[in-house]
Structure 1
Amino acid sequence: MAYSRELGDTAWDYLAPLPHTEKYIWMKPVEDHHCECVVLEGALGCSISNSDDPPGSYHTKDLFVAHETMANRWRFVGRLDDRFPMANAENVLPLDIELNVAKEPLVKEAVVFGVGRPVLGILAFRSGTAKNMDDQEFVSAIWPSIEEMNSHTSATAQVSPQMVIPVAADSTYPQTDKRTFIRRRVYEEFELEIEQAYTRLEQGLGL
């Protein structure tokens, strides 16, 4: 896969197979609109195989989504082992949702939760730009991004406004040395807020 593109091509976050490798790459549908990149037998530089589907292939576990209008252009969204199970047995890939919500200037970080739960939720950490916004105003401002993501997911994996937890701009969260959040520890630190969100949902309450 390559990043090179013609002048004027604005799809900067989409990759394209190199011409001489295209016939050796199979984007295998996984679920929803996600595809796993599979390298087929005969590809230069691929000397090992980890699957007989098809024989001699190498399943990378890297997940991509196709560009809506450009042929054979793919955006990386995570890995198969990044997915977590919900109570309905559906496997959800949180990274795709998190990256899209975090693109909002008002959002510093977004963390999806819902392992083993019937519905998903999002911890939305305010950026400095949103530090003076109240909760309802903040959620309303970022809701179009979440709603857009909902339009591309199954009904059981969609997020409702009640399940968006606004977090103060000065709040900290566990991070790696590369400044990416540590999912399990974030869940532990915000366990109370997450439990309160599910309680409000069960009781039919808003923010």
Structure 2
Amino acid sequence: MLRKFNFEIMPEIKERWSPRAFDSQAISRDEIMAVLEAARFAPSCFNEQPWRFIIADEEESLQKMREALTPSNQEWANKAPVLILIASKKTFTLNGKGNFWHMFDAGTAWGYLSLEAQRRGLITHAMGGFNREKARVEFHIPEDYDIITVIAVGHYGQKDCLSGELQDREHPEDRVELRELIMDEGLHTNE
């Protein structure tokens, strides 16, 4: 499926999607740190940078992270050589008050991470299907942090290693038209 773009945008955005066909080839720690460096420079409210990363790239930590995934995600994500959990601090460090924007900011960091990974020839797939409480206990995540997602990171593998159902879904999805995303009476139409 080819995506249609109405405007010229960065190639990394045009090329990025969420594949499931991972190759188990290892990724260097420097490569992992480079994609996290991109995330580090995402903007955040009061420069709080509420996001935190837990990196699983060695067998023991990978096994713990994999066990927190739902079976449907384990089916394909178990091949990924790196899993990264993103948590976000719910309060401001400066004054302890609630940070309404923490998940928005962490999502921006994930976006930067995914685009830098794409630029480096890596694929990423963020997952909501995992047991947050199990992850909290296994990785000793304080209650002041929301656990947001687990991201698989790696190189693209063989599509035919996936189940038939997943092979059918292994392509970039199209997007709704831009006009449907704008809540402005002058531009938004349902026609």
Greater share of residues in helix: 2
Q: Considering only CA atoms, is the larger Rg found in Structure 1 or Structure 2? A: 1
- More strand as a share of residues: 1
TM-score tier, shorter chain, comes to under 0.3
